[in-house]
Structure 1
Amino acid sequence: MDRVEVIKGPASLTYGSDAIGGVVNLISPPPVPEGTISGSVMATYGTNQGLFNNSLRLQGHNNGWVWGTILSAKEGKAYQNQHDGRVFATGFKEKGARAMIGLNKARGYSYFNASLFDDQQAIPDGSRDDVTRQFTKQVTEDDAFRPIVSPAELNSYNIPALHQHVQLYRIYNNSNFILDNGANLFVNLGYQFSHRREYTHPEDATTAGLNLHLTTYTYDFKYNQTFGDDYETTFGLNGQYQNNTIGGATDFPIPAYHQFDIGPFATIKRVLASLIYPQAHAMITGRLTGNRLILIP
């Protein structure tokens, strides 16, 4: 992400009915300048979890065509603190990839993006042996006997049998078309598939206790027109279609469902002149440098 913006008030309605309380908008970095190819490599190691965090980024811009890719991989074993040592089942493995290609022209732009995210997280339960206070683990369905976790397991990068596996796939397009009358037509279309599994059976590690498939299609159309220097109007339509299904699993906490949302909207924004006298504004600015703000009538 390049930056984060918080949107509150009437403007949040342009992001759909679920955004009535406000929006946290994560904004991707803009394309690199024309005729440029740039990249970066990052490698990080953390001592607490033995964390390895590596990423590769490459992007370019030539003759209006923009492209980019990001690859990342991260893994860590059980974290440690001064009271417990290593805490069993707090390790993880995470991989991600994103690719983008687009076209920049005088009449607008259109970017196509595809990304995938794969995450495996151990599931800690915090159980301990009554005598030694060492961590124990579940090895049978009835949980009648819990062996103590060995030091080798605590220091291993392997994910234990009880864990969750989340995979997220996304394909989306962001376009801005500049019309003959100077207005802008923004079109955002997206597809997302989320697959979440929780493996909760120690004697059958390949059978999921929870297996959820969530498919989401989103659409967003905005027509933006400025009248003079004072009024900016936006008309639009947005919504989504969701299909939640349950795969082969032993638990069914969430029923399968279909959901369709659609909502038109219209906003008018007018820019008003400053309501603060220039003299007062100068005095307020001076007070701000002293970490204080005093409003002067």
Structure 2
Amino acid sequence: MKKYVSILFIGFNLFVYSQNKISGTITNTKHEPLTDVVVYIEKLQKGTSTDENGYYELRNLPNSPIKITISYIGYKTHVKTINLQQNDEVIDFMLDEAVYKMDEVVISTPFNKLQSENAIKVELLKINDIAKSGSPTLIEAITNIPGVDMIAKGTGVTKPVIRGLSMTNILLLNNGVKMENFQFSENHPFIIDEFGIDHIEVIKGPASLLYGSDAVGGVINTVKERPAPEGKIIGDYNAQYHSNTEGFVTNLGVKGSSKDFYWGIRGGLKTHADYKDGNYKFVPNTRFEEYSLKTNIGLKKTFGVFNLYYDYNRPKLGMSVGDVIPLVTKKGREPKYWYQDLTSHLISSKNTLFLNDYKVDVNIAYQLNNRKLQTDDSKPFFEMTDMDLNTFSYEVKTHLPSTDKSEYLVGIQGANKTNRNNDAPNHVIPDADVDDFSVFGLAQYTFFDDLKTQAGIRYDYRSITTEAEADKEAIDEDYSNFSTSIGATYQMNENFLFRTNFASAYRTPNIAELTQDGMHGARYEQGNPELDSQRSYEIDLSVHFHSKNLMLDLSGFHNNINDYIFIAPTNETTESGDKIYKYAQTDAKIYGAEFITDCQPYEWLNLNLSYAYIVGKQNNDSRLPFIPQNKLRFNIKFTKEKIASLTNFYFKIGGLYASKQDNPAMFETETDSYFLLNSGIGTDVKWAKQLVSISIQVNNLLNEIYIDHLSTLKGMNYNNIGRNITATLKIPFDIK
């Protein structure tokens, strides 16, 4: 690694310094100037907006190919690659109307293309939609995306599911950094929140080509908020109240930017009491709280952009398990018994260097995670857990010289993970070391202007070593795998787009699956050191139609998984009578489809409907665990730009229908269907010359009594959350 870094720093002598400027005018098809159009260069973290004459200007740009994004509500997003060869260039843009939806730029895929230009299926969710969802956690908010669901033990302990796969079959990224939070169990959530992000990108399907092992089912990437506009210091205060959990959520952020330097800081707090179901009965120990702090600094020069981030999260999550029921006899807020005490520090640096026609991304990160399980005073000390997981990761990607029709990228990635048990003798997993290294290459080529193809190949090597313990033999295993992907998008005409992609992916068995031999939560789990790597082969097909006021999207997928790793109960029991669960492997398949329609027949009315269908089973037709119910969602939204002193007013009503899950896995039971009705209202108002955004969201408006199939409280006969009214306040402000 040191050799690569040295080569990159020697390259500083080759940088070309410049004072390039681009400017121009942005109009609509009637040649009318557009005001407040966002002009942004993602790689440079640099942007501006047009004035009343539609004029924009960006200075201090490198002599290197860069992508400029033009976005404006009600118009098609435009992305153009420019290669500046002189000090001052004039580039004008004409935008076409697109009332139904803006096409967003995706940064989780290698070439930062528009959604419509990616062969890989990617969905986006903006931070404003997350805040207005009325959800107490980030993971619950993204389940509004078709094909995304969650495994939950109440409102605080949640795990994402993408097209039927979860745990270490999917990755969650914090601004491109793989999160490592002991995610091998449904009771171990990712340590991340929604504060300080701009939007979320969800890759559906295998993504090992981009991210290596564990990206079999897909990737969730939380993208950081953009820096403040140049020459300004701005901030925002956000607050929420949840009626059901008596929950308070608050966060405050401030950020500033000068010509070359930018910075930001944000802190947040969440605190929720035990939730109540539709019978108004509280569910014991589903309380949780979390503190967080986010800071960043950045430097932008013509030869490169350099970013340093620090994220701190400290959640305490109540665990609703059998032993805690006699101890928690009334609704409360503070976790006292049987709770996870988690700490996460993430230091990351994301940098881009411009070397004439080359761009080099150099990213490094260090994570320090601690997981404690606090039980209760009546339990002996050995039932407590205290583990440290430290991860160093690095990535170097080189964007080779490109043309209007072709783009190429090569890179390396690597990581070292160390798990260490501290004084608490209960070792869920042993002391272990995991080393990763990979090399990959990707290419995109455009034929006939309408057919865009993407292809790539990747090689990964992983070494896993563990320490021997009294009830666990030492593990010393090496794994290596190739991953490939090939796909295309075809723009048949202005309205129809076809997308297809074939991808292979893999996942090595994790340390828990290889080594566990003891009680984990409420069951006895036994690992299998003979497990092989899991292989996935998925094909995706989709067709997309849009006109000025209508969008239709239909996608289907079929994922064949060889040596699928899962845990299941056996007929064996321990001496104390606990049933033994063992990890095993089998060939399996998961297939399904998603349908989305978005219609805006009038400027003030938006209609949205989506349906997700999924089947997961072994090749012997036995069903796979944690396969969600098929779900239909609808949303009707009324908007008005101005009503008296109110601006950006909206009212919405929506619902979710989950069909009966009558094909459970061998250790699951059937789950009845249910219907939830939701509604919301919001607006912006001026108060003492200050703009204030307020909204109220009511989830489960009819106070339905129900249990979701992926609720791990189902076995304890606890229902999901009842009616919850969420009031949200946002106050943006300018300091300079």
Q: TM-score range by the shorter chain?
A: 0.7 to 0.9
Q: 1:247 aligns with which of 396, 418, 422?
A: 422
Q: TM-score, normalised by structure 2?
A: 0.34
Q: 1-side partners of 2:553 and 2:418: how far apart?
A: 52
Partner of 2:384: 209
Q: 1:84 to 1:210 in 2, by over 3 A?
A: farther
Task: Trace 1:31-42 onto structure 2 (pairs within 5 A).
Answer: 31-42=227-238
Partner of 1:106: 302
Q: 1-side partners of 2:417 and 2:321: how far apart?
A: 32
Q: 1:136 aligns with which of 323, 326, 331?
A: 326
Partner of 1:71: 267
Q: Secondary structure at the match of 2:401?
A: strand
Q: 1:44 aligns with which of 240, 264, 279?
A: 240
Kept in 2, the 8 Å contact 1:13–1:20? The answer is no
- For the pair 1:289 / 2:550, whether they are aligned, the reply is yes
Q: Which residue identity lines up with residue 421 of structure 2 in the other structure?
A: I
Unmatched tracts of structure 2, length 5 or more: 1-196, 451-489, 498-544, 555-736
Kept in 2, the 8 Å contact 1:189–1:218? The answer is yes
Q: 2-side partners of 1:10 and 1:125: how far apart?
A: 34
Kept in 2, the 8 Å contact 1:11–1:267? The answer is no
Q: 1:178 to 1:208 in 2, by over 3 A?
A: farther
Kept in 2, the 8 Å contact 1:17–1:263? The answer is no
Q: 2-side partners of 1:123 and 1:11: how far apart?
A: 32
Kept in 2, the 8 Å contact 1:197–1:208? The answer is no
Cα shift at 1:224: 0.2
Q: 2:368 aligns with which of 178, 182, 193?
A: 193
Q: 2-side partners of 1:19 and 1:248: how far apart?
A: 33
Q: TM-score, normalised by structure 1?
A: 0.81
Cα shift at 1:77: 1.4
Question: Which segment is superposed worse, 222-231 or 91-100?
Answer: 222-231
Q: Which residue identity lines up with residue 69 of structure 1 in the other structure?
A: I
Cα shift at 1:10: 8.8
- For the pair 1:184 / 2:184, whether they are aligned, the reply is no
Partner of 1:171: 347
Kept in 2, the 8 Å contact 1:162–1:202? The answer is no
Q: Which residue identity lines up with residue 136 of structure 1 in the other structure?
A: P
Kept in 2, the 8 Å contact 1:120–1:166? The answer is yes
The Cα offsets for residues 179-208 of structure 1, whole Å up to 9 and x where unpaired, read as 12x210001100001100001242369887
Q: 2-side partners of 1:252 and 1:292: how far apart?
A: 47
Partner of 2:476: none
Q: 1:20 to 1:185 in 2, by over 3 A?
A: farther
Q: 2:257 aligns with which of 57, 61, 67?
A: 61
Cα shift at 1:126: 5.1
Partner of 2:316: 120
Q: Which residue identity lines up with residue 264 of structure 2 in the other structure?
A: G
The percent of aligned pairs where both chains have the same amino acid is: 26
Question: Which segment is superposed worse, 88-97 or 75-84?
Answer: 75-84
Q: 1:68 to 1:207 in 2, by over 3 A?
A: farther
Partner of 2:401: 226
Kept in 2, the 8 Å contact 1:162–1:205? The answer is no
Cα shift at 1:253: 2.0
Unmatched tracts of structure 1, length 5 or more: 129-134, 138-148
Partner of 2:277: 81
Cα shift at 1:279: 8.0
Q: 1:16 aligns with which of 206, 212, 234?
A: 212
Count of residue correspondences: 271
Partner of 2:336: 160
Aligned-CA RMSD value: 2.9
Q: 2-side partners of 1:280 and 1:50: how far apart?
A: 47
Cα shift at 1:18: 3.7
Q: Secondary structure at the match of 1:229?
A: coil
Question: Which segment is superposed worse, 13-22 or 189-198?
Answer: 13-22
